[in-house]
Structure 1
Amino acid sequence: MVSIDGLTALWDRLLDAQPDPPPLLVVLTALVALVVVATRLPWQIARNAVTIAHEGGHALAALLTGRRLHGIRLHSDTSGLTLSAGRPTGPGMILTLLAGYLAPPLVGLAGAWLLAGNRITLLLWVAVALLLAMLVMVRNAFGVLSLVVTGGVVLVVSWYATPQVQAAFAWTGVWFLLLGGVRPVVELQRLRSRGRMPASDADQLAGITPFPAFFWVAVFALANLAVLGTGALLLAGPILTEAGITG
């Protein structure tokens, strides 16, 4: 059995704030994330994390709006599918469709908020908990493998890595989600212009609202850029403090 002292120590470890990271770490992790998002092969590999957040956003919105969630599928080509049942129109369906492209940067923003308070361990454990919660909704083998591997990496870093490694990992991951929310919207519009995504989230939204698909693509883009800017300000806290701009 786990002792009271052990649980207290575990709780303290979870909630304790780590020291401020050096400003150079904030800058370097942002550059690493930007390179991953901007270059082809690293993006193809890391994009799976964006897909996990995208499909998780659809799933959470479906549950919160009272729709019946049938499952999530994650594919090796970094595409995904979330199936839910309910009214084919109305606010619930609109919010469910909206949530996909908005979810990755919003998850990144939540992570930036935790990092602004130096809650690195809490951030990593919350990420593991969310991945485990999503695991029960996945309905294909690659999806299970993807979530288990991703969650396993985060858990190992949170439990065994040094505070410096944890900080670098957490800041890189949050920067990646913030920046990585923009590129899929650009790819979406590029594929739509070529007629290769006739059933995209934007096109489905166009089918159940008075607004055209391009309007919804613009909503995705503007919202994600706004979230990126807000998250960047939160993550830049150590730099601003070093420069004497904040207290």
Structure 2
Amino acid sequence: MSNWVKTILFLVGSALLTHWIPSSFFRNLDTMVHEFGHAVVTLALSGKVMYIELYADHSGVTYSSISKSWSIIPVSLAGYMTASIFAWFLFSAYAKGKQRLGLQVMIAISALSLVLFVRNGFGIMFLVGFMALTIIVLALTPNWLRDFYYLLLAFLCLEESVFGPSSLILYAWQNSRSAGDATNLAMHTGIPAIVWAIGFTLFALWCAKQGVQAFLGRSKGARSSSRQSGAAAYRD
């Protein structure tokens, strides 16, 4: 089975599984990372981030000002691309057995977002609640529960990182002015919003493929180690 087929199956499977689990609250993690990406690139290009708002419907917005018009292009690119890379990072960390690092990175991004950027009521509530729960899981729970929590977040980020930009294709098709970041890019480059939406989706799928490969590589390695351990015990 090709890696692309495996990726699509993982995405469909994660969408089904995560909708059976009460996971609405945690879906805001992907939104937080998306908006954090906008904010960091804005600051890197000497812009000013006024504030970020996160909403209960898993949407968000970053209010910022930039001094150079061309800066809107990398800033607009940053949101979906950061979310896609973050999902890849979570699975790569899991493949290396570094779930604690992954959770610590989530806490760090949440803390920075809370202190520097997020100002609306729901956004603050989400960040405080998410950080508190993640710290408890990291510090007090057994490994199996920590791993379950980590994988739940990783699969949610994987799903959201792909289905988020793919929905832009539909929005851009119906109304090119309602496609968020793709619309901003279209206005400043002359390239249609639907092209940018497709580009975001293809990049997200590529990152998802890398993440799935890392996840499956760890699972395969674990099974191989188990078989080798069993053989050694038999010879003894």
What TM-score does the superposition give when structure 1 sets the normalisation length? 0.78
Structure having the larger proportion of residues in helix: 2
Q: What corresponds to 2:232 in structure 1?
A: none
Residues 1:86 and 2:66 aligned together = yes
Q: What corresponds to 1:4 in structure 2?
A: none
Q: What corresponds to 1:34 in structure 2?
A: 15
Residues 1:122 and 2:106 aligned together = no
Q: What corresponds to 1:194 in structure 2?
A: 174
Change (3 A) 1:235 1:30: farther
* Stretches of structure 2 lacking an aligned partner (at least 5 in a row): 1-9, 229-236
Quote the sequence identity (%): 25
Distance across 2 between alignment mates of 1:42 and 1:219: 31
Residues 1:113 and 2:92 aligned together = yes
SS in 2 for 1:227: helix
Q: What corresponds to 2:234 in structure 1?
A: none
Change (3 A) 1:214 1:43: farther
Post-superposition shift, 1:187? 2.0
Deviation digits for residues 50-101 of structure 1 (CA, Å, limit 9, x no counterpart): 21111111111111222111110112222211011113621x2211101112
1:20-99 equivalences under 5 Å are: 33-36=14-17, 39=19, 45-87=25-67, 89-90=69-70, 92-99=71-78
- Counterpart amino acid of 1:64? A
Distance across 2 between alignment mates of 1:140 and 1:108: 25
Q: What corresponds to 1:237 in structure 2?
A: 217
* Stretches of structure 1 lacking an aligned partner (at least 5 in a row): 1-28
Structure 1: 4+ residue segments shifted above 6 A: 29-32
Deviation digits for residues 174-225 of structure 1 (CA, Å, limit 9, x no counterpart): 1221222111122222233333853611011011113111110011001000
Residues 1:148 and 2:137 aligned together = no
- Counterpart amino acid of 2:213? L
Distance across 1 between alignment mates of 2:178 and 2:11: 34
SS in 2 for 1:236: helix
Distance across 2 between alignment mates of 1:148 and 1:197: 34
Distance across 2 between alignment mates of 1:40 and 1:203: 33
Report if the CA contact (8 A) 2:172-2:179 is conserved.
Answer: no
Report if the CA contact (8 A) 2:27-2:156 is conserved.
Answer: no
